[in-house]
Structure 1
Amino acid sequence: MAIARIGIIGSGIMGSGIAEVAATSGIEVVLRSRQRASADAMVAALEKSLNRQVEKGRRQADDAAAALARVTATDSLAALADCDLVIESVVEDLDVKKALFAELDGICAPGTILATNTSTLPVVEMAMTTERPDRVCGVHFFNPAPAMSLVEIVRPLTASDDTIAQARAFAEACGKDAVEVKDRAGFIVNALLFPYLNNAVRMLESGTASRDDIDTAMKGGCNFPMGPLALLDLVGLDTSLAILDALYDEFRDPNYAAMPLLRRMVTAGHLGRKSGRGFYDYATR
């Protein structure tokens, strides 16, 4: 069965980004946020993004209008009842996600795939709050979803082959490169990426090199598009800390033990771009 209508839960950047990817690929989208104003704001952000693409000649005006027409905003979970696939992209808190999956299980049709966009949390724990653990998987887009080509399809022990095949086909229909990975903390990308990011903080904290020199070295020496400290600011220091803690809890590898500087910055509210200050000060940029 082809995925023709999806629900997206969450009013953040990832939610609106996934909505844009799906809608521009011909898929109907229901955007749900707890507050209608937030859901409407996501649609407005999507319209602004599409208009910007039209202005730059990257998309035809008719295509942009058609994509926008495929998107509906709502503050009701019940509006997701007839979706083929529902992807949650709410806060990275396992208890919050488990409660949401249990609620969705009672709303959505038995054949609906319930998916999480988590970057590191155990998908099987969400699956086991439902009566359809075989229809639960991870569909992990990367930020920003319209620009990043990768989607990790995460297979918990409970997922059926059909569920994984449909999730993969959805990602590929959105023009993404889909990779399949077992349900282990960090999956592929974050399990490899975050020891690197954490060790960049270690290097800064120990005084080995300055912030700017660390980032310049990794851009110039490894041809990375941005340095590790700037990337942490983009991801969000609170999100990064949560990922490292989840990785450490699962593997007990010292490379995943978050550096004290990172933890203290989160405590101080220095979360990166979204707060205006992290390793860099964005208020002056």
Structure 2
Amino acid sequence: MTDHPLPSWRNGPARTAILDFVARVTAENGPDHVPQPERIAVFDNDGTLWCEQPYQVQVFFLTDRVRELAAKDPALAARQPFKAFLEGDHATLHALGKQGIQELFFATHAGMTEDEFAVLARDWLARAKHPKLGRTFPQLTYQPQLELLDFLRANGFKIFVASGGGMDLIRAFSEDTYGIPPEQIIGSSMKLRFEAGDAGVSIVKLGELNSFDDREEKVVNIGLHIGRRPIFCFGNSDGDLAMLRYTLAGKGARLGLLLHHDDAEREFAYDRDFPLSPLVEALEKADAYGITVVSMQNAWSTVFPDAAAP
């Protein structure tokens, strides 16, 4: 624990809530002490740990993948929904919804081994840049959240990501960027098949959705993959509300945080108007559920690392 934890967090209700909560659960003789093995924190990814506007990063990845496939099969470019991706047809993309995009994403990687996909994902993440902000997507993680991850780890927390995004894409950068190893990533997943032959032993992607890790399914997958109820949760949309409520419903000290994107100058301002991942119910019922709302504009002195902002 540093002398000045969370330097990019301004003094205010959110920073105070975090510091107070961590102090209480780590005080060995205090009434709210939580043994270290039970200090489980879960974070959403898109819009909570890194930028998700104007689309989740997975959409940009999928668009580039469709371009690659269309170069090999030009007829693909005339078919929907592939045509919409290539033309930036916002209405069609929004109509697909987050699950529809996820299903299409998985379909375009059918037949790859997990190792092949990891190489493809890491190469793309190293070179692809956000169309407005001009940085690679891992460079668009939020500096205050990186500090929070470090602060929690320094205080004995084990941190998991529970995301609606594709699990394998997040695993391709999570350890280098967040310090969170791949085994602590929970996300939407595709069906897999074990193969053994002359070429070796591998796991192959079947191109079909296995689990769409959003809303109530996030809670189910937390139970399946973690086996402990988190005591700390951070999200940013209605897709995270079930996870927040599950965290806060447990016994003892708990903290649930909801990031509100209200900073159009340094990032983007949106909530209910983002069709792919709206923030409506969680924001309206935050007080009733005991959720602490974090205003990006008010709570963070900087947004991206190195003070890079649009």
Alignment TM-score, normalising by the size of structure 2: 0.27
| Larger helix percent | 1
Where relative contact order (Cα < 8 A, 6+ residues apart) is larger, the structure is 2
Alignment TM-score, normalising by the size of structure 1: 0.29
